[in-house]
Amino acid sequence: MRMASGRITLAVSVVLLAVLSGAVPTAALASGAGLSGPTDAEELRANCAEYGDITVCSAQVPSFDGSPLDVDVTRPMPGTGDRHPMIVLLHGFGNDKHEWESTSDVADGADKYHWNNHWFARHGYYVVTYTARGFRDNGPRASYQPATPAGEAPTCLPPGGSACPPTGTIRVKNKDVEIRDTQWLASLAALAYPDVNPDQVAVSGGSYGGGESWLQAAAQAGSEYWSDFPGLPRLRLQVAVPKYPWTDLAYSLMPNGHPGGPSGAAPGEPYRGTDEYSSSQGEPDSLGVGNPIGVAKTSYIGGLYGLGTANGVFDEGSLSPQSNGPEPFTAWLGRVNAGEPYGGSGRVDDPMMAQVRTAFSAWHSAYYQPGWRIGRNAGREPAVLSVSGWTDDLFPPVESFRMFTYLKSLDRDWPVAVMVGDVGHSRAQNPPTVWQAINQGAWTFLQANIAGGRPARTAVSSYPTRCEGTATAADAISAPSPAALANGRLIVEYQGEALLPATAGASDPDGPATDAVAGGNTASGPACRMSARLATPTGGGYTSLSRPLPAGQTFVGVGHVQARYAATPGAAGAVLIARVWDVSPDGTAVLVTRGVYRFDFNGYDAHSGIVQVPLYGNHWTFAAGHRIRLDLAQVDHPTYRAPNAAVTATLDLSATRLVLPVRQDAEITMQ
């Protein structure tokens, strides 16, 4: 499984599971700290080679805490000026410095098309690419990548041992660790190359690098200088272009389905978010407090852990001087896998889940950083263009939408924009035509803001999802906000009641078939997961079909499922899973979107009331004559961790409705 490429396959996942039973690779080890200066900067100039028409200089240098980092610096091509901007390109989880490197502008023809070191060097940029701490460089993985030399393989002492020093281990983009690595290396590059313009710096990256790109923008908003180390050049970050990123890591890995967004509550008052486009773990400027722990994405979390242990080593609780606190990732995973209840009465998490909440929200997620308000008040508003995928089941569009909504609430002219399409991690098809259009838009945005972000009434743009992956630039639509992509609503009132025990859906074959990692049942492409059964309830779940649509409807946005519920009195919690399908007249059903809500009756939810389950969303056209199928269950495995039956309520549902924002300018209610 490679977060870097945006695609995850069953074959790779199987390999990762096998790896888990073998020896654990080791992490980087470095002695000393704060080793920098002319010697290290000279290393970034010394070992240079030609790769086609680009020059790349490679070195292994110590980071701010002494951890060795394997870095490449691509020089601007001759004839591109005397002063040069710089961009840092950040790789995905389990990948290495080669991901965004290419010997041509074309690269893979999609995600990396006109978005790689060759493209930027040809346009006068210095390009910094490096392998994140705790990972090894396995060399080029594609024919277009230059074979730049790797640094020393990460090791711990003794080999294969479980104890590693606090430096050099995977910290999952801790804001005081990997975030500073990037700033440090950028400053060293600026020291090595005095023709770098210190006021024209950008960052970009996908997935793991996308989450960091957002955190880097928050760091610049919060300080006059983005990179400010004694003896090194001070730098200012002007632009960030995160691709398929997270902005709330706790929510993206364990979504709770509760609404988010600034609540306006006074200190000490309960959190009352209202925006399904900003669903989150808590409200901004908090430690991710306000909503309950969510439902773990089992297949993705397991695969990511396998990938991390196969190609590096996680930190297991070492407390280095610069760290916010210990991060025992394996212990945290064990606690998450044990499941609910996650705490006691009165919204109190148990000690380990409290650590997970605080770490993954406050230490690893851009949404909770105080720098945004600080920047607004100080007139520092770095420009951000965030790219998300409608069919990305790991980091859905809400990860970009919540930041757009939040930053526009701080300043309606904050230069933040979003582009959404059938791109990113699985189930996405990643059509080359869509990526090429997105990258052209990103390049235009970068060039417009690299000399300093300018206030702007920016937009959210969307490309449709099609099974054949044929969307093009001409199919894009734009609006001033995520919600404004739609002009009307389609409401489907479903008939009958549903009684969902804790095991409802456990035997549904559509669970494995639609999983982004393990599912292999596709139509024309991976975004079009087909149902493995007829439109009848199975495994104790609820399934219902609408009447045929009298006219085509284009769903664009998030949408939600609403129901009246009554839960077993005294139970600690419950889960409500929703899947929405497009059913053609011949009975073929294609998954359009899904969503999840976790009830926590220990202070977050009442035992009866009305629930709204936010969907991941899509930009999808239901053709005339097609029906819309709704599935409800408590189990959708392996996509989500199945609830512990002993503490899970049975849900009695009625008055079920599906509410979809549509492009058509009307509100239609049907059965």
DSSP structure string for 84-101 = EEEEEEEPPTT--GGGG-
Specify the pLDDT at position 523.
Answer: 44
Scan for tokens 């400053």, then name that residue: 187
Specify the pLDDT at position 313.
Answer: 81
Contact in structure between 480 and 459 (CB atoms under 8 Å): yes
Residues 6+ apart with CB under 8 A from 658: 491, 492, 494, 546, 559, 560, 561, 562, 580, 628, 630
Specify the pLDDT at position 66.
Answer: 87
**10-251+365-483 has which fold?**
Rossmann fold (3.40.50)
Specify the pLDDT at position 626.
Answer: 98
Rounded to the nearest integer, the mean pLDDT of the chain is: 89
Give the span between the Cα atoms of 372 and 135, in whole angstroms. 30
Residues 6+ apart with CB under 8 A from 285: 368, 370, 373
- Phi first, then psi, for residue 511 (nearest 5°) are -60, -60
Q: Burial, 318: exposed, middle or buried (Cβ in 10 Å; 0-12, 13-18, 19+)?
A: middle
Q: Over the stretch 185-237, which tens digit does the pLDDT of each residue have?
A: 999 999 999 999 999 999 999 999 999 999 999 999 999 999 999 999 999 99
The fraction of the chain above a pLDDT of 90, given in percent, is: 77
Ranges of CATH 2.60.120.260 domains, the chain: 488-670
Split at pLDDT 50, 70, 90, the class of 8 is very low
622 versus 521: which is more confidently predicted? 622
410 has pLDDT over 70: yes
Region for residue 404 given its phi and psi (left: phi exceeds 0; alpha: psi -120 to 50; beta: otherwise) = alpha
Q: Say which DSSP state 542 is in.
A: E
Q: Over the stretch 144-167, which tens digit does the pLDDT of each residue have?
A: 999 999 987 655 544 444 445 445
Give the span between the Cα atoms of 597 and 607, in whole angstroms. 14
* Helix axes of 398-410 and 371-378: crossing angle, nearest 10 degrees: 40
Q: Which range, of 58-67, 226-235, 537-546, averages the lowest pLDDT?
A: 537-546
Split at pLDDT 50, 70, 90, the class of 34 is very low
Residues 6+ apart with CB under 8 A from 169: 27, 28, 133, 134, 312, 313, 314, 315, 316, 318
Specify the pLDDT at position 267.
Answer: 47
Q: Over the stretch 64-110, which tens digit does the pLDDT of each residue have?
A: 988 889 999 999 999 999 999 999 999 999 999 999 999 999 999 99
Specify the pLDDT at position 7.
Answer: 34
- Phi first, then psi, for residue 349 (nearest 5°) are -75, 150
625 has pLDDT over 90: yes
Specify the pLDDT at position 69.
Answer: 93
Give the span between the Cα atoms of 171 and 183, in whole angstroms. 16
DSSP structure string for 222-251 = HSS-SB--TTS--B-EEEEEEES--S-HHH
Q: Over the stretch 420-437, which tens digit does the pLDDT of each residue have?
A: 999 999 999 999 999 999
Structure tokens belonging to residue 4 = 């870097």
Q: In the CATH scheme, what is the code of domain 488-670?
A: 2.60.120.260
- Look at strands 560-567 and 498-500 and give their pairing: unpaired
Split at pLDDT 50, 70, 90, the class of 326 is confident
Residues in the chain: 671
Split at pLDDT 50, 70, 90, the class of 24 is very low
Q: Catalogue the E-assigned strands of 146-216.
A: 196-206
Ranges of CATH 3.40.50.1820 domains, the chain: 10-251+365-483
Contact in structure between 202 and 451 (CB atoms under 8 Å): no
Q: Over the stretch 644-665, which tens digit does the pLDDT of each residue have?
A: 999 999 999 999 999 999 999 9
Contact in structure between 72 and 113 (CB atoms under 8 Å): no
